[in-house]
């Protein structure tokens, strides 16, 4: 499988100069699903079709990933900031006729979702974040456990083209290793889907863009998050937090307590899986989302 099945149709949508590749399907209140690293929109394959029974579901590739545009990274890490990536998605939804929508993000997509909700609060009716705590909290609570669990955050943020050069030499090894180490024991991803992730990531422009995503996380994004925190900005719409009890998030944090420092109306639960909730426990994710989205 390399595409979502019916009722989804694929579109290339201009987001203020950046072309975003997205699958759109269903009818009803709109829901935007944002994927994480090192994947594409296809990670929502078990969730999107069922949600489309009751909602218009939009499932894009983030800039730098999949079949979306991959702008050349800039020295200030602005092009791959979560602010820029969030603006892409607001433009996509407006192009589709949606000024307000529910938002669900996993991993990097959840970080884009957090920034989108802070920058465009009028656009987001409900926010669901899967297996993250806010970037600011992660980077201001660094210890040995984090350095070992999230080592890729620091490796990918290294300058001098070090990560790009090394990953270009073994992209398949990197993707398979990163995914497999974050799955719960016994969880698997279909071979054809893993092949799709590997093929998408083997593109040098994807390696450059996705690496720039992490460089932005440690620089521009952190500065933006600190500025929002200092200004007292909080997420005011309802927030659903889901995490894997076998993931790093589940082992290292009390996710609901952390999110309540950043948002006013927080609920959620752990699921008995690793990091990739929509792929490891799609039925449970669907049940939680349906209850939350209404």
* Spatial contact of 83 and 224, defined as CB atoms under 8 Å apart: yes
Q: 128 pairs with which residues across the strands?
A: 104, 240
Instruction: Using the structure block, give the residue that is written with the tokens 């007292």.
Output: 232
Beta strands 29-34 and 101-106 are parallel
Catalytic sites, residue numbers: 107, 275
Q: What angle is formed at CA 57 by the lines to CA 51 and CA 63, rounded to 5 degrees? A: 130
């Amino acid at each position: 499988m390399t595409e979502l099945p019916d009722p989804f149709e694929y579109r290339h949508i201009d987001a203020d100069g950046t072309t975003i590749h997205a699958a759109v399907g269903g009818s009803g209140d709109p829901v935007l699903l944002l994927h994480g690293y090192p994947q594409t929109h296809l990670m929502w394959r078990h969730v999107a079709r069922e949600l489309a029974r009751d909602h218009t579901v939009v499932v894009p590739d983030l800039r730098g990933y999949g079949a979306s545009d991959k702008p050349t990274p800039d020295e200030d890490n602005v092009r791959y900031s979560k602010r820029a990536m969030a603006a892409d998605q607001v433009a996509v939804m407006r192009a589709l006729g949606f000024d307000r929508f529910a938002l669900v993000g996993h991993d990097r997509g959840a970080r884009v979702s957090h920034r989108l909700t802070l920058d465009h609060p009028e656009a987001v009716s409900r926010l669901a974040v899967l297996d993250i705590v806010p970037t600011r909290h992660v980077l201001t609570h660094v210890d040995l456990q984090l350095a070992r669990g999230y080592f890729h955050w620091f490796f990918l943020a290294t300058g001098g083209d070090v990560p790009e050069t090394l990953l270009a030499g073994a992209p398949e090894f990197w993707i398979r290793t990163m995914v497999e180490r974050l799955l719960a024991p016994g969880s698997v991803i279909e071979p054809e889907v893993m092949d799709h992730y590997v093929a998408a990531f083997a593109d040098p422009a994807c390696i450059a863009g996705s690496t720039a995503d992490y460089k932005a996380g440690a620089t521009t994004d952190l500065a933006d998050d600190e500025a929002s925190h200092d200004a007292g900005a909080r997420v005011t719409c309802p927030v659903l937090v889901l995490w894997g009890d076998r993931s790093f998030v589940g082992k290292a944090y009390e996710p609901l307590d952390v999110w309540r420092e950043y948002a006013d109306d927080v609920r959620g639960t752990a699921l008995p899986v690793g990091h990739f909730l929509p792929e490891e426990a799609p039925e449970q994710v669907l049940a939680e989302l349906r209850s939350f989205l209404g």
